[in-house]
Amino acid sequence: MAYRTGERNGDERDAVQARPQAAERFAALDRPMDAAAYNYEHFRLTHVGGEARKTVRRTGVAPGEPAPDFELPRVGGGTWRLAHEVNPPVLLRFGSYS
Amino acid sequence: MAHFGERVQMVDVLVRQGHPGPAVPAYEDEAQKLADAQRYKEDDGIPWTVLVDDLQGTVHQAYGALADPTYLIDVDGRVAFYGMWTHVPTLFEAVEALLARGGRGVVRGGVDRRAHLAAAVTNGWPALRRGLPQSAVDLETSVPLSVAAAWLGYQLRPLLAPLTLRERPLPPAAKAALGAAAAVGTLLAARRALRPAAAARA
């Protein structure tokens, strides 16, 4: 834990933040998927095309940009919040069970 | 994914079903996601943090909604590197570069967009298997031969894994040797393919 500084970024400031940044960024998306569209029932060619399109367009959070903050439930109990955990650096991987 | 020790924090976020099937249908509530995340952590013996996104994938969509991306986030909370298809050796280099510069800044050009299919072919079968038979039918219909490739790749795993699932980048000499081998192989195959045509013309 060579990079831990003990600094916690002030919980007061976190408290006044109305919504986590990830939710704001989601709300600002051009074409957000609702739960039904997001949780597709069949893997289709359109998903392959979508991945290719997103890759070509560099969809995602660009390098150098702040990683949108979020707080999510963790396996084993409790939650995990990005803004509290960036030191040491974080490798954040998204993945599916299937 | 590889172990990077305590110098970085590894965090997995469980998103939607990638290849749904009878035993792993599309999620209808967050309890199902949490159960799968627990199974994933236990089955695969994952020692690091596993998180569960909400039902509509708010965080996943905010981060671009690719199938299997990995972000390296620096000590200021900024994106240092973004692997759109999660390739461990490339991430390893990015982590080393970031730590070498004190944990801050953009490293290795910031984005890796290569699809890294070799790793997917070697390691994709276990996830696909959970959704059988539908997962295989759907994928084979979308991308012909991909299921056969994934199955074969998994069978050949002992042979392929050191190359396709390695944690560290290949040394330049090994890359050059592989490249030369591939070139010679292609040349031999081309000669072989052209020979009957040449013989027929003669």
Closest A-chain CA to B11: A92
CB pairs < 8 Å spanning A and B: 268
* pLDDT range class, residue B202, cuts 50, 70, 90: low
Q: Does residue B164 sit in the same domain as residue B121?
A: yes
CB atoms within 10 A of CB B11: 22
Kindly report which listed range (B76-80, B144-148, B168-172) carries the lowest average pLDDT score: B168-172
Choose the weakest-confidence range: B75-89, B153-167, B170-184: B170-184
Among A34-43, B35-44, B117-126, which stretch is predicted with the lowest mean pLDDT? Answer: B117-126
A56 chain-B contacts, CB cut-off 8 A: 113
**Residue B191, helix vs strand vs coil:** helix
Which of chain B's residues have a Cβ under 8 Å away from the Cβ of A58? 84, 111, 113
pLDDT, tens digit, 9 for 90 and up, residues A78-90: 999 999 999 999 9
What pLDDT does A6 receive?
Answer: 41
CB A96 within 8 A of CB B17: yes
Residue B161 and residue B120 share a domain: yes
Give the closest of B17, B84, B98 to A98, CB-based: B17
* CB-CB contact of A92 with B91 (8 Å): no
The model's confidence at residue B2, banded by pLDDT at 50, 70 and 90, is low
pLDDT digits (tens, 9 = 90+) for B120-131: 888 899 999 999
Number of independent structural domains in chain B: 2
Tell me the C-alpha distance between B13 and A96, whole Å. 8
If asked whether residues B129 and B162 sit together in one domain, one would say yes
Do B120 and B163 reside in the same domain of the chain? yes
Report if residue B140 sits inside a domain: yes
pTM, rounded to two decimals:
0.84
Mean confidence (pLDDT) of chain A: 86
Token couple for B94:
């990015």
pLDDT at A4 over 50: no
Which chain A residues have a beta carbon less than 8 Å from that of B52? 72-75
Asked whether residue B161 is domain-assigned, the answer is: yes
**Host domain of residue B196:** 174-202
- pLDDT at position B197 is 62
Q: What is the pLDDT of residue B199?
A: 58
* Closest residue to A1, CB basis, from B6, B10, B73: B6
B109 part of a folded domain: no
Query: Are B178 and B162 in the same domain?
Result: no
Kindly state whether A81 is in contact with chain B, defined as any CB-CB distance less than 8 angstroms.
no
Which among A72, A31, A47, A92 is positioned nearest to B20, based on CA atoms? A47
Whether residue B153 is contained in a domain is answered as yes
